[in-house]
């Protein structure tokens, strides 16, 4: 009987311990909560500029006085450029150089939020999974060529578009699909795409080839199989397609791009309920209004948009 | 023959003196000895402990988030049939691989057990093979063969991911299983070989009719261990771009930014693994019963 009591006693302690946990976190989603609720309200008193918005929500940043930005490692071109820096975790390119399309966008957004780039910016290398794993995030936002999808919107909050993207098909010279001009000509092709991208949906929903698509961990695997001839083509976003054919596969050709039913776009992802979405959106709106975003586009992605449409 | 062979079992079936572990489950056996009071205590303590665990988890501050992104019923309903459909590809891969492993590993184990100076190079090769393929991580073997072999573009060499993944799994797991077989072969008492030879059996026949049957019987549980490992490692083929259960789960995960598909796949693995464990338990128990009957005669 004594044994039984000791078991009950231990269980009682466990119950008591967990009763102290505060269940307030149960009410996530919906309106911004807690301390930031009053200042972040989007009523008639909403801040007019990105800088005002950032100042009003100074508490909402991951670490005070610094913008913490997550992105993928390796930092792939043409989204990031400038090469590696000794002592940095990032491979291929160093984000804090502010080069490449996403690099330049972050540098500009940072400035408009009232921070100085790169002194007041910390870059966090992230696995793609980490950008939407549940729980508190250790970054203010992540940009990593993440396409907005309504289903994804439930797990994170998205900013407005910072790049309107089309998907494109890459093949190699001499491949039967290299000269294709219509989607119908791709019916018998074996195509590949990296997992986690909307490129795969283009293969499955738009092209609908008879062969099962190959789905890789990242672009590197897909490129390797295209080089080896195990697959006929890769579907990727258009700027990456031009990068692949220019650098990774000398024999590569951009066959064409696809017209999406609704415009696909890359957006920054935030922890659900973050008041900073509003501030970054203001910054993006300013950049679109005064033409800065076009300038960044022309500087880093010029020539990466002209490909025939496959119909 | 003088005296009983070493593994004759001293008890009749159902004998209460049979050591606990031999009467089936070691989890339940102690309860039978304790009687009704023991069973009652076990039930109460189980209810209390499991309730406490559930209460702690459900009341934790992160639970609503976890529930939403790991146990979303809508995503589960969408994911489960799609994952199951692709999981049959894993089943095909691991069944073919397992059948080949049984044969290849046996050949390696026999080569390693050969005695005599003539067989020295074979023994060295078998040992080098097991060392090498137990040392390299499975995913590397799959990546090296799966991405490397087709890139050679040699005529007649298949470039199918499934083919190379099966080759890689057979190479890696035959190395493990060869060691398991060898342990079984070496566990057969030398007197068995001596007796067989004295009866006039050749070395080959001794191996075939005396050593191997006893060795294989003893290594069935560890063999299942390796097979379960192999079944789980069949998911590594996803690395090559082939869409099987894991990759399908990942695709749905990325569409929804939700981890529920992984839970669905885990469930499938649990459901196929547990019956195998029970089957091996039954196999071992049946084998033991048969040998007991032999001893009683």
pLDDT value at residue A36: 41
Cβ contact, residue pair A11, B49, below 8 Å: yes
Check whether residue B55 and residue B86 sit in a common domain.
no
Burial of A200 (0-12, 13-18, 19+ CB in 10 A): buried
pLDDT value at residue B13: 56
Nearest 5°: the CA angle A20, B71, A30 is 65
- State mean pLDDT over A240-251: 89
pLDDT value at residue B297: 47
For the ranges A14-28, A151-165, A246-260, B84-98, which has the lowest average pLDDT? A14-28
Percent of chain A whose pLDDT exceeds 90: 57
Which of B44, B62, B258 is facing A4, going by the closest CB pair? B44
pLDDT value at residue B18: 56
Interface test with A, best of B148, B244, B257 (most A CBs within 10 A): B257
CA atoms of A9 and A196, how far apart (whole Å): 48
CA-wise closest residue to B232 among B97, B130, B132: B97
- A4 pLDDT above the threshold of 70: no
Place of tokens 């049959």: B88
- Kindly write down the DSSP assignment for every residue of B18-76, as one continuous string: S-GGGGS-TTTHHHHHHHHHHHHHHHHHHHHHHHHHHHHHHHSTTHHHHHHHH--HHHH
Q: What is the mean pLDDT of chain A?
A: 84
Check whether residue B174 and residue B253 sit in a common domain.
yes
C-alpha distances in angstroms, B185 versus A128, B182, B198, B210, B217?
48, 5, 19, 10, 10
Neighbours of B149 (CB within 10 A): 18
- A9 pLDDT above the threshold of 70: no
pLDDT value at residue B35: 79
Cβ contact, residue pair A195, B251, below 8 Å: yes
Facing residues of A192 across strands? A214, A234
pLDDT value at residue B113: 87
> Residue A73: which pLDDT band, with cuts at 50, 70 and 90?
confident
How many alpha carbons lie under 13 Å from residue B295 in its C-beta half-sphere?
17
Residue B70 lies in a domain: no
User: Edge-to-edge strand order for the sheet containing A252-258?
Assistant: A214-216, A191-194, A233-237, A167-172, A252-258, A309-310
C-alpha distances in angstroms, A274 versus A111, A137, A281?
20, 10, 12
The model carries a pTM of 0.76
Cβ contact, residue pair A228, B239, below 8 Å: no
Provide the residue-wise pLDDT of chain B in tens; the chain has 297 residues.
Answer: 454 455 555 555 555 555 544 445 566 766 777 778 888 888 999 999 999 999 999 888 888 888 888 999 999 999 999 999 999 999 999 999 999 999 999 999 999 988 889 999 999 999 999 999 999 999 999 999 998 888 887 888 888 899 999 999 999 999 999 999 999 999 999 999 999 999 999 989 999 999 999 999 999 999 999 999 999 999 999 999 999 999 999 999 988 889 999 999 999 999 999 999 999 989 888 888 887 776 554
Facing residues of B121 across strands? none
Cβ contact, residue pair B256, A155, below 8 Å: yes
| Residue A156 sits at the chain B interface (C-beta within 8 Å) | yes
* Residue boundaries of the structural domains of chain A: 49-164+266-303, 167-258
Cβ contact, residue pair B62, A228, below 8 Å: no
Peptide bond into B290 cis (omega under 30): no
- Chain B residues closer than 8 Å to A154 by CB: 68, 256-258
CA atoms of B79 and B258, how far apart (whole Å): 11
Check whether residue B130 and residue B36 sit in a common domain.
no
- Chain A residues closer than 8 Å to B153 by CB: 228-229
Residue A163: phi and psi, rounded to 5, are -155, 125
Torsion from C-alpha of A209, A212, A216, A220, nearest 10 degrees:
-50
- Ramachandran sector of residue A92 (left: φ over 0; alpha: ψ -120 to 50; beta: rest): left
| Residue A38 sits at the chain B interface (C-beta within 8 Å) | no
Nearest 5°: the CA angle B139, B96, B237 is 25
Element (H, E) at A142: strand A141-142
* CATH number 3.40.50.10860 given to A49-164+266-303: no
Facing residues of A70 across strands? A124, A142
> Could you tell me whether strands A252-258 and A309-310 are parallel, antiparallel, or unpaired per DSSP bridges?
parallel
CA atoms of A29 and A156, how far apart (whole Å): 10
Check whether residue B256 and residue B186 sit in a common domain.
yes
- Chain B residues closer than 8 Å to A26 by CB: 64
Check whether residue B105 and residue B192 sit in a common domain.
yes
How is residue A221 written in tokens? 């695997």
Neighbours of A2 (CB within 10 A): 6
Check whether residue B87 and residue B38 sit in a common domain.
no
CA atoms of A106 and A75, how far apart (whole Å): 14
Check whether residue B54 and residue B156 sit in a common domain.
no
CA-wise closest residue to A149 among A267, A29, A70: A267
Q: Looking at the domain that runs over A167-258, which CATH code has it been given?
A: 3.40.190.10
C-alpha distances in angstroms, A204 versus A140, A215, B84, B90, B248?
34, 11, 19, 21, 13
Residue A195 contacts by C-beta under 8 Å, 6 or more apart in sequence? A215, A216, A217, B247, B250, B251, B254
Nearest 5°: the CA angle A170, A174, A176 is 75
pLDDT value at residue B19: 54
Torsion from C-alpha of A203, A205, A211, A216, nearest 10 degrees:
40
Cβ contact, residue pair A225, B68, below 8 Å: no
Chain A, residues 231-260, CB within 8 A of chain B, namely 231
Residue of B nearest to A193 (CA): B241
How is residue A97 written in tokens? 């150089």
| Residue A128 sits at the chain B interface (C-beta within 8 Å) | yes
| A299 CA: distance to closest CA in chain B (Å) | 31
Neighbours of B50 (CB within 10 A): 11
Residue B68 lies in a domain: no
ipTM: 0.72
What is the domain range of residue B267? 79-296
Of A8-12, A47-51, A269-273, give the range with the top mean pLDDT: A269-273
Check whether residue B203 and residue B131 sit in a common domain.
yes
One fold for both A49-164+266-303 and A167-258?
Answer: yes
The CATH number of the domain where B266 resides is what?
1.10.3720.10
Residue B292 lies in a domain: yes
- A230 pLDDT above the threshold of 50: yes
Cβ contact, residue pair A155, B69, below 8 Å: yes
CA atoms of B210 and B257, how far apart (whole Å): 58
- What DSSP state is assigned to residue A228? H
pLDDT value at residue B257: 87
Q: What is the mean pLDDT of chain B?
A: 88
- What DSSP state is assigned to residue A212? P
Check whether residue B111 and residue B258 sit in a common domain.
yes
- A247 pLDDT above the threshold of 50: yes
Check whether residue B227 and residue B190 sit in a common domain.
yes
- A38 pLDDT above the threshold of 50: no
Which of A134, A156, A201 is facing B66, going by the closest CB pair? A134
CA atoms of A144 and A127, how far apart (whole Å): 10
- State mean pLDDT over A88-117: 94
> Residue A34: which pLDDT band, with cuts at 50, 70 and 90?
very low
pLDDT value at residue B61: 83
Residue of A nearest to B74 (CA): A151
Check whether residue B96 and residue B175 sit in a common domain.
yes
pLDDT value at residue A10: 52
Check whether residue B164 and residue B259 sit in a common domain.
yes
Q: How big is the A-B interface in CB pairs under 8 Å?
A: 120
Torsional sign, CA A70, A76, A79, A81? positive
């Amino acid at each position: 009987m004594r044994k039984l009591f000791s078991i009950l006693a231990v269980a009682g302690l466990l119950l008591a311990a967990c009763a102290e946990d505060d269940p307030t976190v149960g009410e996530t989603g919906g309106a911004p909560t807690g301390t930031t609720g009053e200042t972040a309200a989007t009523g008639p008193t909403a801040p007019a500029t990105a800088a005002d918005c950032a100042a009003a929500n100074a508490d909402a940043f991951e670490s005070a006085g610094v913008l913490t930005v997550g992105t993928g490692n390796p930092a792939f071109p043409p989204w990031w450029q400038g090469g590696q820096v000794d002592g940095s975790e990032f491979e291929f390119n160093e984000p804090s150089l502010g080069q490449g399309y996403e690099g330049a966008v972050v540098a500009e957004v940072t400035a408009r939020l009232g921070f100085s780039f790169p002194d007041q910016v910390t870059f966090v290398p992230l696995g793609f999974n980490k950008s939407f794993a549940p729980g508190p995030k250790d970054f203010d936002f992540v940009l990593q060529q993440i396409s907005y999808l309504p289903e994804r919107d439930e797990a994170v909050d998205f900013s407005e578009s910072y790049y309107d993207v089309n998907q494109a098909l890459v093949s190699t010279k001499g491949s039967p699909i290299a000269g294709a001009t219509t989607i119908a000509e791709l019916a018998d092709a074996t195509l590949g795409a990296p997992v986690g991208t909307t490129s795969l949906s283009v293969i499955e929903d738009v092209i609908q080839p008879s062969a099962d698509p190959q789905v890789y961990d990242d672009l590197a695997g897909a490129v390797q199989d295209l080089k080896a001839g195990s697959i006929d083509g890769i579907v990727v976003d258009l700027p990456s397609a031009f990068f692949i054919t220019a650098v990774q596969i000398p024999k590569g050709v951009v066959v064409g791009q696809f017209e999406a039913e609704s415009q696909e776009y890359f957006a920054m992802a935030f922890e659900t309920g973050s008041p900073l979405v509003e501030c970054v959106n203001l910054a993006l709106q300013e950049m679109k209004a005064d033409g800065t975003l076009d300038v960044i586009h022309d500087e880093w992605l010029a020539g990466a948009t002209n490909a025939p449409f496959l119909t | 023959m003088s005296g009983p062979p070493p593994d004759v079992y001293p008890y009749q079936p159902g004998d209460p003196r049979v050591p606990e572990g031999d009467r089936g489950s070691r989890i339940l056996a102690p309860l039978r000895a304790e009687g009704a009071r023991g069973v009652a205590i076990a039930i109460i303590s189980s209810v209390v402990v499991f309730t406490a665990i559930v209460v702690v988890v459900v009341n934790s501050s992160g639970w609503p988030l976890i529930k939403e992104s790991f146990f979303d019923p809508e995503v589960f309903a969408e994911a489960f049939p799609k994952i199951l459909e692709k999981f049959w590809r894993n089943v095909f891969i691991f069944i073919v691989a397992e059948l080949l492993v049984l044969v290849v590993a046996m050949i390696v184990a026999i080569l390693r057990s050969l005695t005599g100076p003539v067989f020295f190079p074979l023994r060295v090769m078998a040992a080098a093979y097991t060392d090498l393929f137990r040392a390299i991580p499975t995913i590397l073997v799959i990546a090296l063969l799966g991405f490397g072999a087709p890139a050679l573009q040699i005529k007649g060499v298949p470039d199918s991911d499934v083919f190379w993944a099966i080759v890689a799994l057979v190479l890696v797991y035959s190395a493990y299983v060869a060691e398991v077989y060898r342990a079984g072969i070496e566990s057969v008492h030398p007197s068995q070989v001596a007796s067989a030879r004295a009866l006039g059996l050749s070395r080959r026949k001794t191996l075939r009719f005396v050593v191997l049957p006893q060795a294989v019987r003893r290594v069935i549980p560890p063999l299942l261990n390796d097979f379960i490992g192999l079944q789980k490692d069949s998911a590594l083929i996803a690395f090559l771009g082939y869409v099987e259960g894991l990759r399908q789960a990942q695709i749905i995960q990325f569409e929804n930014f939700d981890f529920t598909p992984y839970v669905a796949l885990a469930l499938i693995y649990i459901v196929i693994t547990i019956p195998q464990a029970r089957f091996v338990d039954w196999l071992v128990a049946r084998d033991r019963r048969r040998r007991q009957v032999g001893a009683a005669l």
